[in-house]
Amino acid sequence: MDDNTADHVGISSQVCKERQSTWSREFPSINKGTFSISCVRDTPFNVVIRGVDSSGKFVTGYWIALAIRRNCASFLVNVNGKIQRVAKVTEQTQTKAIGYEAGRRITYWLSFDRDNKLLKFGKGYRMKETTLLKADFKKVAATNDVFNHMFFSSDNRKWIDQYDSANFTTNLERRSLDYGTAEVTFDSEPVTTNRSPIVRDSELANMFDIERGCFTFSSDLPLPCQTLYNNVKASHMTIHSAGSPSEKNNLIDAIRRSIESDEGVLHRKLLEKQEKSRGVFNEMYLRVTLGQNFGNSPGIPYVLEIWPKGHGSPIHSHGNAYGVIRVLHGGIRVHIYNNDAMDRNQQPLTSFDAVKGDITWLSPKWFQTHRLWNDTDDFCATLQCYKYGEEDDTHCPYFEYVSKTNEIGQFMPNSDFSFLEMYQLVMAEYQVKTKENNKKKHECTVM
Ligand SMILES: [Fe+2]
Ligand 1 centroid distance, CA of 370 (Å): 6
Q: pLDDT tens for residues 275-298?
A: 887 778 799 999 999 999 999 999
Residue closest to 77 by CA, chosen among 22, 137, 31, 21: 137
DSSP string, 201-215: -GGG--HHHHHHT--
Ligand 1 centroid distance, CA of 381 (Å): 13
Ligand 1 centroid distance, CA of 234 (Å): 22
Q: Which domains does the chain have, with CATH numbers?
A: 7-187 (2.60.120.200), 199-433 (2.60.120.10)
pLDDT at 393: 85
252 touches 240 (CB < 8 A) = yes
Nearest 10 degrees: CA dihedral of 159, 393, 219, 363? -80
pLDDT at 242: 60
pLDDT at 437: 80
Ligand 1 centroid distance, CA of 36 (Å): 24
Query: What number of CA atoms fall less than 13 Å from residue 362's CA on the CB side?
Result: 27
Ligand 1 centroid distance, CA of 384 (Å): 8
pLDDT at 365: 92
| Position 188 pLDDT exceeds 50 | yes
Ligand 1 centroid distance, CA of 40 (Å): 26
Q: CB under 8 Å to 428, separation ≥6 — which residues?
A: none
Ligand 1 centroid distance, CA of 209 (Å): 27
Ligand 1 centroid distance, CA of 443 (Å): 48
What does the alpha-carbon distance between residue 122 and residue 36 come to, in Å, rounded to a whole number? Answer: 9
Percent over 70 (pLDDT), the chain: 87
Which of 4-8, 45-49, 180-184 is predicted with the least confidence, judged by mean pLDDT? Answer: 4-8
pLDDT at 361: 98
Mean pLDDT of 194-217: 96
| Position 175 pLDDT exceeds 80 | no
The listed range with the strongest mean pLDDT (24-38, 174-188, 211-225, 275-289) is 211-225
Ligand 1 centroid distance, CA of 334 (Å): 9
Q: CB under 8 Å to 54, separation ≥6 — which residues?
A: none
State the amino acid at position 129 in one-letter form.
E
Q: pLDDT band at residue 386, thresholds of 50, 70 and 90?
A: very high
Mean pLDDT of 247-262: 88
| Position 2 pLDDT exceeds 60 | no
Q: pLDDT tens for residues 405-415?
A: 888 888 888 99
Ligand 1 centroid distance, CA of 197 (Å): 13
| Position 18 pLDDT exceeds 80 | no
State the amino acid at position 440 in one-letter form.
K
pLDDT at 8: 54
Q: pLDDT band at residue 170, thresholds of 50, 70 and 90?
A: very low
Ligand 1 centroid distance, CA of 385 (Å): 10
pLDDT at 446: 63
Which of 202-206, 408-412, 424-428 is predicted with the least confidence, judged by mean pLDDT? Answer: 408-412
Q: How far is CA 170 from CA 6, 8, 319, in A?
A: 12, 15, 42
Ligand 1 centroid distance, CA of 369 (Å): 7
Ligand 1 centroid distance, CA of 375 (Å): 16
| Position 431 pLDDT exceeds 50 | yes
Residue closest to 302 by CA, chosen among 385, 412, 362: 385
pLDDT at 29: 78
Q: pLDDT tens for residues 293-308?
A: 999 999 999 999 999 9
Cα Rg of the chain, angstroms: 27
DSSP 356: T
Ligand 1 centroid distance, CA of 316 (Å): 6
Ligand 1 centroid distance, CA of 345 (Å): 17
Ligand 1 centroid distance, CA of 211 (Å): 30
Q: 159 vs 21, which has greater pLDDT?
A: 159
Report CA 147 to chain centroid distance, whole Å.
Answer: 36
CB atoms within 10 A of CB 82: 9
Ligand 1 centroid distance, CA of 397 (Å): 14
Mean pLDDT of 77-91: 90
Q: pLDDT band at residue 98, thresholds of 50, 70 and 90?
A: very high
Ligand 1 centroid distance, CA of 400 (Å): 10
Ligand 1 centroid distance, CA of 242 (Å): 24
Ligand 1 centroid distance, CA of 131 (Å): 24
Mean pLDDT of 405-431: 92
Mean pLDDT of 251-257: 94
Ligand 1 centroid distance, CA of 46 (Å): 35
Q: How far is CA 187 from CA 106, 190, 365, in A?
A: 18, 7, 11
